[in-house]
């Protein structure tokens, strides 16, 4: 599809135009970006090296960590570059690429979270059928379908963006090329874009949210039927981390993508975008690690093997 735009590049305003805040923003987001990459990579390495964690839930968590790294890698490097640069520009093709990759990671992560809720439902409410419901082949097909669906959804939105005209202002009051600020900037009719955005929000975001809520309704009902207090605590501990992540993530996504571009609030949406594009990738590995005994044990074993290897190499 050929783009109708006469604009060849956009200017990203970023988080602040005040020079005194630029270094603070740069070092702050550099730390968050590094923390997200190290945390998620370490989480993936821990799961990969511990056979005890080779279960469907942790397989889904590995894919969640991958989407987290993609999501923050799409937004943070350009933010860091434009923070210190004199010309805070991004090419039209670079902007469209950001939209495509970010929406792909976003849609994939949303669906992964709902399937993780279904996995917990199967483990707690259908323990005897769980090995059949969540067997290896089913998990592989499920995750492959999630990535492909996210790719197709992102391609549709990106293709529609390429049909728009951007002939007036080229200033994006955001720190990356997200879909809402880009639509708000267009001088074309964006009714089709908004309709598809609402459809995607209804099918993926709201659909995944409903599936997650239904799963947890059954999970809570099953937990309340457990007689022992210890059994209730153990069952709830397996879901509390995921429920915390889901509540935080879905609320910010729904706030951003469910409303029309005409009601787009520049400063508010930048803050919310930081929460789901930067903060969430940092928090996810921490939440799933610190609240999980198996992961903490695997991390200790990984650290022990690493220190043992260093000691042997030193003596040799």
pLDDT tens per residue across span 15-60: 877 777 788 888 999 999 999 999 999 889 888 888 888 889 889 9
Q: At what angle do helices 92-125 and 56-84 cross, to 10 degrees?
A: 150
Instruction: Give the DSSP H/E element, type plus range, for residue 83.
Output: helix 56-84
SS3 (DSSP) at 12: strand
**Low pLDDT (below 70) residues in the chain:** 1-6, 230-232, 234-242, 253-267, 290-291, 305-316
- The sign of the CA dihedral 17, 19, 20, 23 is positive
Are 160 and 196 a contacting pair, CB within 8 Å?
yes
Secondary structure of residue 291 in the 3-state scheme: coil
Q: Is residue 291 part of a domain?
A: yes
pLDDT recorded at residue 1: 43
How, if at all, do strands 89-91 and 171-172 pair?
unpaired
Is 93 among the domain residues? yes
Identify the pLDDT of residue 149: 95
**Does 122 fall in a domain?**
yes
Q: Which residues have C-beta within 8 Å of that of residue 268, sequence separation ≥ 6?
A: none
Tell me the H-state helices in 179-292.
179-185, 191-200, 207-224, 229-257, 266-274, 280-290
Residue 32 and residue 175 in contact, taking contact as beta carbons nearer than 8 Å: no
Determine the Cα–Cα distance for residues 316 and 314; give it in Å rounded to an integer. Answer: 6
- The pLDDT of residue 207 is 83
Residue 4 lies in a domain: no
Does residue 14 lie within any of the structural domains? yes
Tokens linked to 35: 């923390």
- Whether residue 1 is contained in a domain is answered as no
Which CATH number fits the domain that encloses residue 40? 1.20.1070.10
Count the domains in the chain: 1
For 195-204, how does the pLDDT look when each residue is reduced to its tens digit (9 = 90+)? 898 888 888 8
Give the integer Cα–Cα distance in Å for 51 and 55. 9
Q: Which structural domain, as residue segments, surrounds residue 56?
A: 9-315
The answer to whether residue 288 is domain-embedded is: yes
What does the block give as tokens for 22?
């630029």
Q: For helices 56-84 and 280-290, what crossing angle results, to 10°?
A: 150
Distances (CA, A) of 12 to 132, 205, 228: 50, 27, 56
Residue 110: both structure tokens together:
């949303």
Q: Residue 2 falls within a domain, yes or no?
A: no
The residue written with tokens 């309709």 in the block is 195
Q: CA dihedral in degrees (114, 117, 123, 129; nearest 10)?
A: -30
* CA nearest neighbour of 44 among 70, 57, 63, 67: 63
The pLDDT assigned to 314 comes to: 62
Q: What are phi and psi of 85, to 5 degrees?
A: -80, 150
β-sheet with 171-172: strand ranges across: 89-91, 9-12, 171-172
Residue 308: the pLDDT is 61
Q: Name the pTM for this structure.
A: 0.85
């Amino acid at each position: 599809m050929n783009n109708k735009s006469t604009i060849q590049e956009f200017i990203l305003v970023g988080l602040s135009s005040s020079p005194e805040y630029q270094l603070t923003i740069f070092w702050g987001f550099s730390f968050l970006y590094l923390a997200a990459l190290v945390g998620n990579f370490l989480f993936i390495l821990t799961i990969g090296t511990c056979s005890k964690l080779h279960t469907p839930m942790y397989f889904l968590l590995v894919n969640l960590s991958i989407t987290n790294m993609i999501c923050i890698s799409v937004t943070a490097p350009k933010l860091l570059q434009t923070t210190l640069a004199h010309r805070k520009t991004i090419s039209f093709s670079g902007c469209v690429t950001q939209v495509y990759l970010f929406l792909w990671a976003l849609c994939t992560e949303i669906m992964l979270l709902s399937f993780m809720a279904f996995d917990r439902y199967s483990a707690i409410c259908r323990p005897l059928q769980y090995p059949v419901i969540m067997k290896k082949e089913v998990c592989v097909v499920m995750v492959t379908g999630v990535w492909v669906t996210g790719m197709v959804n992102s391609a549709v939105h990106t293709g529609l963006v390429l049909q728009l005209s951007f002939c007036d202002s080229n200033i994006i009051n955001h720190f990356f090329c997200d879909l809402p600020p880009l639509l708000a900037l267009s001088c074309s009719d964006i009714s089709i874009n908004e309709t598809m955005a609402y459809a995607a929000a209804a099918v993926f975001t709201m659909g995944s949210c409903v599936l997650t809520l239904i799963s947890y309704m059954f999970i809570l009902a099953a937990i309340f039927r457990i007689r022992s207090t210890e059994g209730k605590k153990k069952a709830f501990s397996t879901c509390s981390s995921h429920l915390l992540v889901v509540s935080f993530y879905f609320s910010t996504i729904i706030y951003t993508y469910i409303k029309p571009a005409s009601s787009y609030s520049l400063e508010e949406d930048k803050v919310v975008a930081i929460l789901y594009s930067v903060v969430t990738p940092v928090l996810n590995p921490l939440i799933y690690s610190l609240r999980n005994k198996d992961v903490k044990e695997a991390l200790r074993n990984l650290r022990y093997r690493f220190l043992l290897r260093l000691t042997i190499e030193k003596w040799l």
